[in-house]
């Protein structure tokens, strides 16, 4: 289960998405997320799904790896679908005890689950095709206009980048601790809920100790390299918006304009 969590992982490559400016990728991702929630027509969801699959193919990220990004959340998706099926009045599909599952609830729950799945896939594509360093520079650049009101853009971007970078590291550390505890006879899958929660204590304690130790080592390494925040810092590679970025932006604008027409005309 832990090895299926792909948040924060980066897959080097030379695809179109890898070569795009990270600021443009983040901006277009925001536009797509807004579009997924604004355009609630069945055809629009079909367009977004097809476009997401096309982007996944273009990125050349293994489809199995991309599918793993949603695997840890499948229980949440199923629970969301069942809640909508039970709580939405309409034409009954079937009954289980006192619960009535409706057709309208299924349709509404399916739409919500599809939205969540698209958000997860698109966000995963961003982290899969953008290195942590590029994400930091992009976030700092996008937040830089807020410096005039005292927002520490560089520090916020650095915190987000470090958090993303440490997710795979902590997952790997947790997996090692669990295997070490299981080799000593600890069972994490049997017993009632209280027993299962108590069996997590041998994992959480060493995990917290390891996380604090890594954070302290990182702070000492940054201080040893004379890190003093973003004031006066320069970059080895400056971010530049190129023709392919303008092309991606133009395609997104055309797609959103077409969806606006479809919604207004009721197509």
Q: Mean pLDDT throughout 16-45? A: 87
The percent of residues above 90 in pLDDT, for the chain, comes to: 3
**What residue segments make up the domains of the chain, in order of their start?**
1-130+238-267, 153-233
Question: Taking the CB of residue 197, how many other CB atoms lie within 10 A of it?
Answer: 10
Give, in order, the Cα–Cα distances in Å from 208 to each of 58, 179, 242: 39, 17, 43
Nearest CA among 116, 15, 117 for reference residue 61: 15
pLDDT band, residue 6 (cuts 50/70/90):
low
Measured CA to CA, the distance from residue 43 to residue 261 in angstroms comes to 12
* Mean pLDDT calculated for residue range 40-57: 86
Concatenated DSSP letters of 47-112: HHHHHHHHHHHHHT--HHHHHHTTGGGHHHHHHHHHHHHHHS-SSEEEEETTEEEEHHHHHHHHHH
- More confident: 161 or 17: 17
pLDDT at site 230? 62
Helix (H, G, I), strand (E, B) or coil at 264: helix
Tokens coding 153: 């853009």
49-61 burial string, b = 16+ CB within 10 Å, else e? eebbeebbeebbb
What would the pLDDT profile of 229-262 be if each residue is shown by its tens digit? 666 666 667 778 888 889 989 989 998 888 888 8
Q: What is the pLDDT of residues 179-238, one digit of tens each?
A: 887 787 767 666 666 776 677 777 788 888 888 888 888 888 887 877 776 666 666 677
CA distance 129 to 213: 29
Q: What pLDDT digit, counting tens, does each position of 110-149 carry? A: 888 888 888 888 888 888 888 877 887 888 788 778 778 8
Whether 56 and 71 have beta carbons less than 8 Å apart is answered as: no
Out of 16-25, 122-131, 150-159, least confident range: 150-159
pLDDT at 267: 64
**pLDDT at residue 63 greater than cutoff 70:** yes
- Cβ burial 213-244 (10 Å sphere, 16+ → b, else e): eeeeeeeeeeeeeeeeebeeeeeeeeeeeeee
Helix, strand, or coil here: 230? coil
Q: What are the structure tokens assigned to 50, written together?
A: 């097809």
Highest mean predicted confidence (pLDDT) among 94-108, 134-148, 156-170: 134-148
Task: Report whether 101 contacts 93 (CB < 8 A).
Answer: yes
Question: Tokens 């601790």 label which residue?
Answer: 177
CB 161 within 8 A of CB 132: yes
pLDDT in the model for residue 250: 92
Q: Judge whether 197 and 189 are in contact, CB under 8 Å.
A: no
Q: What percent of the chain is predicted at pLDDT more than 70?
A: 86
Scanning the structure block, which residue is given the tokens 């799904």?
49
């Amino acid at each position: 289960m832990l090895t299926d969590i792909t948040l924060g992982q980066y897959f080097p490559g030379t695809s179109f998405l890898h070569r795009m400016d990270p600021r443009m990728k983040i901006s277009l991702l925001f536009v797509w997320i807004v579009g997924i929630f604004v355009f609630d027509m069945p055809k629009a969801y079909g367009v977004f799904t097809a476009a997401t699959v096309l982007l996944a193919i273009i990125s050349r990220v293994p489809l199995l790896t991309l599918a793993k990004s949603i695997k840890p959340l499948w229980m949440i998706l199923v629970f969301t679908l069942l809640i909508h099926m039970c709580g939405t009045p309409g034409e009954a599909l079937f009954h289980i005890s006192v619960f009535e599952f409706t057709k309208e609830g299924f349709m509404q729950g399916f739409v919500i689950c599809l939205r969540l799945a698209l958000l997860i896939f698109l966000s995963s594509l961003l982290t899969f095709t953008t290195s942590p360093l590029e994400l930091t520079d992009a976030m700092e650049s996008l937040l830089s206009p807020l410096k005039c009101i005292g927002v520490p853009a560089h520090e916020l971007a650095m915190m987000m980048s470090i958090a993303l970078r440490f997710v795979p590291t902590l997952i790997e550390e947790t997996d090692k601790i669990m295997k070490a505890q299981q080799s000593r006879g600890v069972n994490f899958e049997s017993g009632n809920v209280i027993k299962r929660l108590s069996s997590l204590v041998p994992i959480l304690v060493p995990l917290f100790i390891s996380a604090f130790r890594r954070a302290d080592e990182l702070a000492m390494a940054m201080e040893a390299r004379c890190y003093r925040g973003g004031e006066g810092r320069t970059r080895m590679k400056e971010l530049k918006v190129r023709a392919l970025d303008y092309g991606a932006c133009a395609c997104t604008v055309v797609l959103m304009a077409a969806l606006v027409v479809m919604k207004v005309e009721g197509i």
